[in-house]
Amino acid sequence: MPYVESVGICTWRHQAKYAWLPSLENVTPWSGAEVTNQTWFWKDDLHIERKLFFGMLLAPDIPVFVSLAFLPYLIAAQGDIDAETLYEKGLIASNARHIYQHILQNGRTPTAAIPMQKGSRMLYLASLQQKFLLTKYDLTGRNRGTYGYRWCLCEEAFPESFEAAGRIGVADARNYVVAHFRGFGGEITPETAARMFRWQPL
């Protein structure tokens, strides 16, 4: 999508909390729920075709589109994303770790087949997306009753992005992200960006 490629990252719908952040809603003829209805499969098809990344990176209810050029910087900016290390530090919940381990061991898994002990499956999936541990791989179907996703390791879906991220230092990546956001006119600081993306101190 040319717009996402030009801005690097944008929300799906306008977010008052991040009013300075580009949104798809602001550049389409639709607004509110209509932009969701009209662009519903953009988030699926473009992500599945690996033309961009789509995920719940800011919050479980705030999905974003990310260009493939910008994605390595967001991955690198997270620093260590080893699931066991994150769990030991209390940065992912035990249920999130359980979901990650299941997909690590069993491969691509439909949402409905992901084992859950308690709590919100989607909340834990969002937390794993925020750390670039899991992402949507493809669809289980497009019709009512079949529509859903298969999940996989994020590095399986976007190996080139992870390879590129491995060549970028964490501090350099964070500086790049902050500078990129300042280009949108937002008064963003490294501390603000760290809260947005849940970066840990270096």
Radius of gyration of the chain (CA): 16
Specify the 3-state DSSP secondary structure of 74. Answer: helix
Q: What distance in Å separates the CA atoms of residue 135 and residue 43, rounded to the nearest whole number? A: 12
Q: What distance in Å separates the CA atoms of residue 169 and residue 68, rounded to the nearest whole number? A: 18
Residuewise pLDDT in 10s, the chain (202 residues): 789 999 999 999 999 989 899 999 999 898 888 888 888 888 899 999 999 999 999 988 899 999 999 999 999 999 999 999 999 999 999 999 999 999 999 999 999 899 876 667 788 999 999 999 999 999 998 888 788 899 999 999 999 999 999 999 999 999 999 999 999 987 899 999 999 999 999 8
| Terminal Cα distance for the chain, rounded | 34
Residue pair 20/185 in contact by the 8 Å Cβ criterion: yes
Q: What is the pTM of this model?
A: 0.94
Q: What distance in Å separates the CA atoms of residue 193 and residue 152, rounded to the nearest whole number? A: 27
Q: What distance in Å separates the CA atoms of residue 83 and residue 86, rounded to the nearest whole number? A: 5
Each domain of the chain, given as residue ranges in start order, spans 2-197
